[in-house]
Structure 1
Amino acid sequence: MRRSASGAGRGRSARLGDAAIAAVTVVALGSGVWLLDGTGPHRPPQPTAAEGRFDPGGGRSAAPGLPPSPPLRIRVPAIRVNAPLTGLALTPSGSLDAPPAKEMNLAGWYEAGTTPGETGTAIVAGHVDNADGPAVFYDLGALKRGARIEVDRRDGTVAVFTVDAVEVYSARDFPDAKVYGAAPRPELRVITCGGGYSKTTGYQGNVVVFAHLTGSR
């Protein structure tokens, strides 16, 4: 699967501007090989319609944006995620590179864009599985609104986000502007593969978590 992205970056000259980010795509974030026919008991969970009722406020006020600082680790206690983060750059073809598939407990962040906790839309991506089994974001589709996401940053702060919605989109109907669009407050998107699996086409869409900053420590 490949997705176009728009408006994820902000600010400093070291980053891509909104116009440049419109050309970024995300490579596949799951192999599905271990699923065999994709219908067995090991199929990744998918979000329910109730979790997909998008509430940009999340019922809580946004915290003030933090200064830019690269993220080091992401934790999602509700689904037992505690993973290091690696920077993701663009490939020569213009795609956003994925974390190494063999590293099952590794996620990546788009390092040419907004850093998590900073005002804007920060992007984190990780595999749902690889040929050996479930990977870092296998249970992302089971996350609920109101859940907490924490990101450890290089400057020693921890950015705390609250989940506003969890949605799944097909490859043909992926809402680029909604997922990647620039934001006036600190927001986070966490992305993996989802939306069913086919032997011939692989995963048919993406699970996307929408969250906003509600605190730091």
Structure 2
Amino acid sequence: MHVLIIGASKGIGLETARQALKAGHQVRALARSAAGIEISDPNLEKVSGDALKAADVEAALAGVDVVIQTLGIAGGDLFKPVSLFSAATRVLVAAMAAKGVKRLICVTGFGAGDSRASIGFLQKLPFKFFLGRAYDDKSAQERLIKDSGLDWTIARPGILTNGPKTGRYQTLAEVSKWRNGLISRADVADFLVRQIEDRTYVGQAPVLVN
């Protein structure tokens, strides 16, 4: 498959690019610092561009079958107004509609959208203080995706670690089972790459934890 990864220069996006290439996919990596991506592979196309610019996103969608959106912000930005997630998604959804690309896989997080109600009582206050601004915007991001008419899957990982890929994580699709927990970025990437060809979770937003 021809896969566009938005936010592929670090974190989950970079690991997703590695694993998608290993799985045999053609990967186009869109990021402002794409040239610095430390992967050398003939099936990887590095595209420098801005996820907030419609022209950059539309150009990156040419010939693409699947889009994986893995945006992130720096820790210091958590205490400022956050609009990156919703603004970039608004641009992406419109561009995908214009280009006829239907499949969207997106990473938000446990605590976004209706999963916020599943946060434990003792975690609610620190969550709101440290992550509230970002997750309010991720909730807006999720609403845009759910209203888009695209074939979407939203992945909501718990607390991210730099651990190895294990493949032993849990995919919690039922609301009654949603909970917080640890999961490595490599295991989140494993889930994302699996969704490129697996439609089991189309129209769903499962929580991912160990």
TM-score, normalised relative to structure 2: 0.27
Q: Which structure: greater helix fraction?
A: 2
Q: Which structure: greater strand fraction?
A: 1
Ranked by relative contact order (alpha carbons within 8 Å, sequence separation 6 or more), the top structure is 1
TM-score, normalised relative to structure 1: 0.27
